[in-house]
Structure 1
């Protein structure tokens, strides 16, 4: 089977609005998280959140004026990925696969009060586009003048990883040649913040020093963040033939579900562990890029699985202390962080942690130059979906 490779990426996270900025952020451990206190937050309490720089979605074209912000953000990161790849999509059968957990909640929250008041005259004619999960995939196809597959994967916090999984299946089947894979969520609106605060997942009423600390029992909850990530993936032989620069190989990506219903996920992590064992098999990753996000059950799951799978012999890390948790976009953001570290010979380290409760875990907690050839990436979410990916430095026959 021909390899599937990554030839371009684009990224926007709190603290960075392109790949070069993100690499600097990863090297220096800079965070883009801020504390807020205003009337829109639950009980008017302090809450730490991650927002994107306005430059990420400030498009001037008239045709995009009514596009939801979630779609404009994804267009920008997709443009960055395509430019890096150098690919001519007009000569390819291209599929677009977008992963999102919430589809961008701004449209819902802005328009529902208008309809509840019965104010038909003020209700915007753009409302359907603002609230349709498929809008972003459609926006990418329209932006790039593509008429092939456009699919939205909405499986919670694993959505972008499962978009990657789906795209790989389509390429392997021969239905498409290449794929634009994206992940995006713009969801820091009152309804979502109320919902996660109600189940005590957000650090409501706590300062930044106790918010979103990976692998720390002192963390009072995760930092909800905006984010967007995009990849260009294609068959190895096609990338080589057109002279494209291959950034990494996608060795495998798989998903499953805990089977426990709507609320929460399996705290034992046994189903994610099963996936990890299947994907790793006899391979030797240089480290694990985990989803640890400063939420105790999630972090303990990641730590326990790491010990069971690797006997704590290799490092584990999390970038969530820098960028927060961007829901459905988070998995692909982790992939790109791993890709950047692989290219730059370093492991993106775990910033903003004090290790409390995880003192014996092999956490990469400071910048170190280190050759990285293979990475395991883990992701799981509310509702029980798990997704695991394995990426490798590209090698050609005879290497």
Structure 2
């Protein structure tokens, strides 16, 4: 394939989260505004004061050998589960050697194999053992999931891991898009995964004091993005994968094209490690619009980052106004699905983009669950508690991370 400009389309989806197993389950729960958040009930070696979480319900099935299961961390297991679903959904199989060598993996994770590392600390410091488990390094390393995806899929092109906190999988998808667009690869498994419900990471998040207080009346409604009575984010685990291909290859094999990625904007605040800068976020949105050569007025729906933190939701409201202008910003339909699947950190960008793809396909913009008390400082149309049927020719998905990393991805429904 010649180096040049290629259009990039999405042909397969796979996902798992507290909302259920499979890509379809995510969208069904998102449009029904049905929450997967519950009381935290997973045992940890050290007591953790975590009131609510978005945990994946067991069991889930994997077509992995026992030795492979034991070697890799849970985050890698979830990664292959969703990548396998996406590959099957896309109908990709029987690729030639040349095609495999031009097939790539772009994967994101914030905490990587935190379970493998946490187990080692327990063995050494709680149980008094004098050695770590043999495959601790493989389980803990950030690119463990990426390596497993490469081996299971047979993809022999670059396999790259991105770790930019909450923007990890959004960056992975954006960079996969660029690689295919400029002809460096033909197709890619792109997305991310996170599984961090282990004592060490949870104690760290507890200390940061950004987690939501449990809703005493309904714990499932503890995450309230853009609401006046929001109290913080709810941690979730999950994974999502998208199959990206150049348009020529997808059409040649008769693939079902779900959407086209037309824009990718990435920026850094260069201001503060945890406090967001709305101008940096707005810059990412403007860059995605410029990349797509799309008029801002053509955007119908935005899947917001919307973590339900006090500062974050206000900053995002300001950033949308800065990127689109006040009047146009008020005409947008915007929602945060984190209200129901929690903040899946390194998997968030991919999971939310996957839901956005399905929103475009079904002409339904998911509502923002539990937004009963409007915040005057978050005064855009955040679709409170109810999804809306409307055509969505263009949609945007935003991911903003600690470290000041911002990503905006822009999708088109029709591929002309």
The bucket for the TM-score relative to the shorter chain is: over 0.9
2:60 to 33, 46, 56: 56
CA distance in 1, matches of 2:195, 2:114: 7
Q: Which residue of 1 aligns with 2:406?
A: 386
Alpha-carbon spacing, 1:322–1:250, altered in 2? closer, same or farther (3 Å): same
Number of the residue aligned with 1:120: 130
**CA separation of 1:39/1:160 partners in 2, compared to 1, >3 Å: closer, same or farther?**
closer
- Give the direction of change, closer, same or farther, for the CA distance of 1:43–1:80 in structure 2 (3 Å limit): closer
1:362 aligns with 2:376: no
**Once the 2 structures are TM-superposed, how far is the Cα of residue 34 of structure 1 from its aligned partner?**
0.4
SS at match of 1:375: strand
1:141-290 matches, within 5 Å, as 141-204=150-213, 207=216, 208=219, 211-260=222-271, 263-266=273-276, 268-281=277-290, 282-283=295-296, 284-290=298-304
Task: Give the secondary-structure state (helix, strand or coil) at the position aligned to 2:59.
Answer: helix
Unaligned ranges ≥5, structure 1:
none
SS in 1 for 2:321: helix
Change (3 A) 1:126 1:201: same
State the TM-score, normalizing by the size of structure 1.
0.92
Alignment match of 2:149 (pick from 140, 162, 185):
140
- Provide the C-alpha distance between the structure 1 equivalents of 2:46 and 2:215, rounded to a whole number of angstroms: 13
Q: Which moved more, 1:206-215 or 1:336-345?
A: 206-215
Q: Which moved more, 1:154-163 or 1:65-74?
A: 65-74
Q: CA deviation at 1:322?
A: 1.0
Contact conserved, 2:400 with 2:407, CA < 8 A, in 1? yes
Task: Measure, in 2, the Cα distance between the counterparts of 1:217 and 1:326.
Answer: 23
What residue number does 2:350 align with? 332
Tell me whether 316-325 or 214-223 shows the greater mean CA deviation.
214-223
Classify 1:197/1:89 alpha carbon distance in 2 versus 1 (closer, same or farther; 3 Å).
farther
Residue 9 of structure 1 corresponds to 13
Q: Secondary structure at the match of 1:109?
A: helix
Asked if 1:303 is matched to 2:317, the reply is yes
Q: Secondary structure at the match of 2:95?
A: helix
Structure 2 gap ranges (5+): none
Give the structure-2-normalised TM-score. Answer: 0.89
For 1:275 and 1:65, how far apart are their aligned partners in 2? 38
Question: Taking structure 1 as reference, are residues 3 and 38 closer, same or farther at Cα in structure 2, changes over 3 Å only?
Answer: closer
Offset at residue 254 of structure 1 (A): 2.1
Deviation at residue 44 of structure 1 after TM alignment: 5.6
Partners of 1:255 and 1:244 lie apart in 2 by 29
Alpha-carbon distance between aligned partners in 1 of 2:164 and 2:364, rounded to the nearest angstrom: 31
Aligned pair in 2 of structure 1 residues 46, 330: CA closer, same or farther (>3 Å)? closer
1:51 shift after superposition? 0.9
Q: How many residues align?
A: 393
Two-structure CA RMSD over aligned residues (Å): 2.2
Q: Secondary structure at the match of 1:225?
A: coil
Contact 2:221–2:370 (8 Å) recurs in 1: no
Residues in 2 aligned to 1:393 and 1:203: alpha-carbon distance in whole angstroms:
35
Q: Are 2:116 and 1:97 equivalent residues in the alignment?
A: no
